[in-house]
Amino acid sequence: KQEVTQIPAALSVPEGENLVLNCSFTDSAIYNLQWFRQDPGKGLTSLLLIQSSQREQTSGRLNASLDKSSGRSTLYIAASQPGDSATYLCAVAANFGNEKLTFGTGTRLTIIP
Amino acid sequence: GAGVSQTPSNKVTEKGKYVELRCDPISGHTALYWYRQSLGQGPEFLIYFQGTGAADDSGLPNDRFFAVRPEGSVSTLKIQRTERGDSAVYLCASSLRVGGEQFFGPGTRLTVL
């Protein structure tokens, strides 16, 4: 059974710093990996999707990498802003034709102005 | 609409009652997913539809839970004889194609008293 772990559970950094969020998964046979942000009391906003054949994806100040063989992904946020404060979740899809996502418990990020 | 919508946004019910939760996916999205999120946890998969049929219902916790998507668009999650342990946020997501990026709705917060 796939298990997804995100460490740390919470992180606080001063505004302007670059930071890295970590995600690990136990079964490397994944189809894709998706990063989301969730604001308190809200749904999930998709940030980046990495296919299993890709090594990284970039969107603005965000960069996600994937090392499937070691079961790891990182989300890099450059020049953090207070608006980046949210919970960040990673999720993996098992196989094409089995698209249900298995989520980690998230990292709660606070950017200190 | 522009995104996935879910109604109601909040539902309070008494133990033993029947509830229906509705999801309107993004127009043209063929895949639809239901997840459940408890406080402090990542979402957990319930059921996945491809078109009108349930392709994977392995996440439904028991036979009190049922979901339909009769015309391949709107979906309804039905919970019979609700229990206090059913209290959670129920999230719906859709994707344009099998294996594609999943886009989430704002969720329905269900509280069973």
Query: Is residue A85 scored above 80 in pLDDT?
Result: yes
What are the mean pLDDT values of chain B's consecutive 10-residue runs (113 residues total)? 90 97 95 94 94 90 96 95 97 87 94 97
| Cα B23 to Cα B4: distance, rounded to the nearest angstrom | 7
Distance from CA of A67 to the nearest CA of B (A): 19
Q: How confident is the model at residue A82 (pLDDT cuts 50, 70, 90)?
A: very high
Query: What residues 38-97 of chain A have any CB closer than 8 A to a CB of chain B?
Result: 42-46, 49, 89, 91, 93, 96-97
Cα torsion A106, A41, A44, B63: sign = positive
To test the contact with chain B by mutation, choose from A39, A44, A59, A89 the residue with the greatest count of B C-beta atoms within 10 A, namely A44
Predicted confidence at residue B112, as pLDDT, reads 97
Using one digit for the tens of pLDDT, what is the confidence trace for A24-45?
A: 999 998 999 999 999 988 889 9
Average pLDDT, chain B: 94
Burial (0-12, 13-18, 19+ Cβ within 10 Å), B101:
middle
Predicted confidence at residue A110, as pLDDT, reads 97
Query: Is residue A98 scored above 90 in pLDDT?
Result: no
Nearest to B98 among A44, A97, A105 (CB): A97
| Cα B113 to Cα B110: distance, rounded to the nearest angstrom | 10
Average pLDDT, chain A: 94
